[in-house]
A and B are shown apart, each in its own frame.
Chain A
Amino acid sequence: MNIHFGSIRYQYIGLLFFVIFLFLIGFFIKNDYYLNVFVLIGIQAIAVLGLSLLMGYAGQVSLGHAAFYGLGAYASGILTIHYGLNPYLAMFCGMAISALMALIVGLPALRLKGHYLAMATLGFGIIINICFKEMASLTGGPSGLVGIPMLKFLNFTFDTSISYFCLVWSIFIILMVLSLHLVNSPFGRAFRALGSHEAAAQAMGVNTHIAKLIVFIISAVYASLAGSLYAHFVTFISPASFGFICSIKMVTMVAIGGMGTLWGALLGTSILVSLPEFLTVFSDYDVLVYGLILIIVMIFMPEGIVQASIKIFRNFKYKETNG
């Protein structure tokens, strides 16, 4: 039998297994600390999912995605605390602001060939982070913004770890399904085409400039949503969480998990967010271990862990049927 891991049916099956896995975690893990780690993985995974669309499919790199993550978080924080806005409305405003910012940054940067988006977003990320620090009357400055309200639905408040766990992962699953649909549609094919061979994509009638801009905006909106969810979860935000390192971490998560597969975004995020928890034995040397993992992955499986595993599995299958 010929196995197409790309076909959407397999993706649905994978998703079903993943949902069962989440149910088991939610059911059996009673320790709030570990649940919180899973909530943070979920939040980060939403942002990385968007970045994966941009990097792994459209072939563009953003080195300032933490800025959109931060814009979402600060929009939620500022609009709810200072202006008493409904948290969901604030979340929506954050996404709209991020989309607008992505448009402004992407419009000139994506017109040029090469890695201009990486350069532009690098600068953009740093400028936004300075804004978070300096606009103290709104953002609370370097010490941060305290007392962000928790999310409520009717009379129910998402104040326990398990309730937020369910909320975040439900949103992730919905976005994952929509993203899988997107990459397996004419739009997604256009994105993948331009990531693979830009001139050929143009020859197939793809307006590559607009297509890149659209993916960039989508990825910014994902990051913004994740930022808002983060703000309402920890109820305290400070500029340090949205700096350059955070952007680099997000790029690393996509690269480790694998370009061109949305599952890679999930896997890369899970590894990098949970790693510090497992590495407490190495205490101060965790950065070294982290770097080592990145080096090993890049040398032995440059296409990422997900693709490498599929290849190993395929070869195994091939040997089994032919050997």
Chain B
Amino acid sequence: MAEVLLSVDNISKNFGGLIAVDNISFNIRVGQIKAIIGPNGSGKTTLFNLISGHYQPSSGSIYFYGFNITKWPAWKSASVGISRTFQNLALFTNMSVIENVLMGVHLHTKAGFLSSIFRLPAFFKREKEAREIAIEKLSLLGISDIAEKKCGDLPFGLQRLVEMARALAAEPRLLLLDEPASGLDIHDRNRLCEIIRQIRDEGVTILMVEHDMNITMSLAEEVIVLDSGKKICEGTPKEIQRDPEVIRIYLGEG
């Protein structure tokens, strides 16, 4: 059994009276692809925001490599290797593609304020190195040809890939993908699956939320099913498909 990367322990989140996430616990092991599924409003994205640090949990704890990161803000979680994409694209539309990806690279490059504004040699050296890494990430996803394009001008599918490249440029240990396939056509979906496998093979652990059952069942090694903020069951795709509770939720009570 591989080492536990992320451990979510009895986590809950209330918005006023609404309990969006209700006492959920699970582990993610290093090198795994894990998926979270569930009907709309079942708390998947909230759970994501709790792990990435965009929301603070009402109770419970989150451990990353055994460290308690429960109260950490998002930027701090990002700096230790938790990277994410957003359900509705969150590119920096006022920047070019490569500048977006550079934002990820900068997480690990030091930038001197003075060397930046006075353009000292150190600035050019770092900038060149950062650009090389950014181009490398774009090539990995096969989109290095659009590096200088403005993000806002790109078709939806490409924007998704840019967002993925940006998340990868941050050299994450855990990559959170929030509905990576939504809005993509069948061709792009197949390509996405290949890319996600490729990322996993490079040693990145992946937690994804996905509505597309074909993608989820073919990619994920383990699946968590949520309903109304509660964890209904957890297991391999085969186990999940046989679970009576899951069948009830997805097919309705006969």
Q: Which residues of A contact B (CB under 8 A)?
A: 2, 4, 6, 178, 181-182, 185-190, 192-193, 195-197, 199-208, 260
B93, A196: Cβ atoms closer than 8 Å: yes
* Sample (25) of A-B pairs whose CB atoms are under 8 Å apart: A4-B96, A178-B117, A181-B116, A181-B118, A185-B116, A186-B109, A186-B111, A186-B116, A186-B130, A187-B113, A187-B116, A189-B99, A189-B103, A190-B103, A192-B99, A193-B92, A196-B92, A197-B90, A199-B54, A202-B54, A203-B84, A204-B104, A204-B106, A205-B78, A208-B75
A189, B90: Cβ atoms closer than 8 Å: no
**Which among A182, A200, A203, A204 is the interface contact of B117 at CB below 8 angstroms?**
A182
Q: What chain A residues lie within 8 Å of B102 (beta carbons)?
A: 186, 189
B79, A185: Cβ atoms closer than 8 Å: no
Q: A185-B116, A196-B93 are in contact. Are A206 and B54 (CB under 8 A)?
A: no
Apart from A181-B118, A185-B111, A201-B103: 18 A-B pairs, beta carbons within 8 A = A6-B96, A182-B116, A186-B111, A187-B116, A189-B99, A192-B92, A193-B92, A193-B95, A197-B91, A200-B92, A201-B92, A202-B74, A203-B90, A204-B170, A205-B78, A205-B170, A206-B75, A260-B94
B94, A192: Cβ atoms closer than 8 Å: yes
Does residue B7 face the partner (Cβ distance < 8 Å to A)? Answer: no
Q: What 1/0 flags go to B71-85 for Cβ under 8 Å of A?
A: 001111011000110
Give the interface size bracket for B toward A: 35 or more
In the bound complex, CA of A153 to CA of B215 (Å): 72
**Which residue of chain B has its CB nearest to the CB of A200?**
B90
Q: What chain A residues lie within 8 Å of B74 (beta carbons)?
A: 199, 202-203
**Which among B75, B116, B167 is the interface contact of A207 at CB below 8 angstroms?**
B75
Does residue B5 face the partner (Cβ distance < 8 Å to A)? Answer: no
A196, B170: Cβ atoms closer than 8 Å: no
Least CB distance from B18 to A in Å reads: 20
**Which residue of chain A has its CB nearest to the CB of B85?**
A203
Q: A185-B123, A193-B95 are in contact. Are A204 and B78 (CB under 8 A)?
A: yes
Q: What chain B residues lie within 8 Å of A200 (beta carbons)?
A: 86, 90-92
Q: What chain B residues lie within 8 Å of A186 (beta carbons)?
A: 102, 106, 109, 111, 116, 130
Does residue B221 face the partner (Cβ distance < 8 Å to A)? Answer: no
Q: What chain B residues lie within 8 Å of A202 (beta carbons)?
A: 53-54, 73-75, 78
Interface centre among A181, A201, A205 (most CB of B within 10 A): A205
**Which residue of chain A has its CB nearest to the CB of B90?**
A200
In the bound complex, CA of A182 to CA of B117 (Å): 5
Does residue B52 face the partner (Cβ distance < 8 Å to A)? Answer: yes
Q: What chain B residues lie within 8 Å of A189 (beta carbons)?
A: 95, 99, 102-103, 106
Q: What chain A residues lie within 8 Å of B95 (beta carbons)?
A: 189, 192-193, 196
Least CB distance from B99 to A in Å reads: 6
B83, A203: Cβ atoms closer than 8 Å: yes
Does residue B119 face the partner (Cβ distance < 8 Å to A)? Answer: yes
Does residue B148 face the partner (Cβ distance < 8 Å to A)? Answer: yes
B103, A204: Cβ atoms closer than 8 Å: yes
A4, B170: Cβ atoms closer than 8 Å: no
Q: What chain B residues lie within 8 Å of A181 (beta carbons)?
A: 116-119
In the bound complex, CA of A6 to CA of B91 (Å): 17
**Which residue of chain A has its CB nearest to the CB of B163?**
A200
Least CB distance from B50 to A in Å reads: 13
Give the 6 A-B CB pairs with smallest separation, nearest first: A185-B116, A202-B74, A186-B111, A200-B90, A205-B78, A196-B92
Least CB distance from A96 to B in Å reads: 18
Least CB distance from B171 to A in Å reads: 11
**Which residue of chain A has its CB nearest to the CB of B96?**
A6
